[in-house]
Amino acid sequence: MQKDKYHHGDLKESLIKNGLKLFNEVGAEKFSIRKVASLCNVSHAAPYKHFKNKEELINAISEYVFNNFKDSLNEVAEKYKDDPYERIIELGKQYVWFMVENPDYLKFAFLTKNESITVIEETELESREDNAFNVFENCALDFLKSINVKKEEYNQDIIAMWSMVHGLATMLAYNTFSYEGCYLELVENILRKNLKF
């Protein structure tokens, strides 16, 4: 069987998924299309039908990771759109679940050096692109408005909420502490206790 006759499904998606694992293992400098091709058991030329260079593949990996994360949060945000409090609780749980169940996404998105996509200014948070943080920010804003938090306190409260769910996700994904029970119940209890402004 010829090496570039790919038979395990979609080659482009496989290149992205294997590329994600490789990127997390070796970093951007040692990352190469040749190595990803080897992981996919295809010829070194096969990936070039989908990506012209390694930068294009890395961009595709980034898009894949952030879009899947954003879609995951959007699904919950839509489901609980009529209740700002329950929505922010469920969104926080979903954030943690997604990162714990997809540690490769967590490492790529937040634990490797990248340019900041959210700018914190005195009176507002500004994201440079439409991303998962926007989903979280919008839901957090709705929650804060629903409990009559002063506008000048929005930024710090949103950062605090984001830090809480992100910290929980990171600690659980990397086993910073061990917990015998259901980690999502633990997360929910922590969020409910701390989101009483």
User: If you compute the radius of gyration of the chain from its CA atoms, what whole number of angstroms results?
Assistant: 19
Question: Where are the domains positioned within the chain?
Answer: 11-52, 65-194
Output the CA torsion sign for 170, 172, 177, 183: positive
Measured from the Cβ of residue 161, the count of other Cβ atoms closer than 10 Å reads: 23
Please name every residue paired with 120 in a beta bridge, in sequence order, or none if there are none: 125
Q: Could you list the mean pLDDT of each consecutive 10-residue stretch along the chain, which spans 197 residues?
A: 52 96 94 96 94 95 94 97 97 97 93 58 60 92 95 92 95 90 96 86
pLDDT the model gives residue 104? 94
Q: Which fold has domain 11-52?
A: Arc Repressor Mutant, subunit A (1.10.10)
Instruction: Indicate the class that CATH gives domain 65-194.
Output: mainly alpha
Say what the pLDDT of residue 114 is: 54
Are the CB atoms for 54 and 6 separated by under 8 Å? no
CB 146 within 8 A of CB 84: yes
Q: What's the CA gap between 197 and 2, in Å, rounded?
A: 63
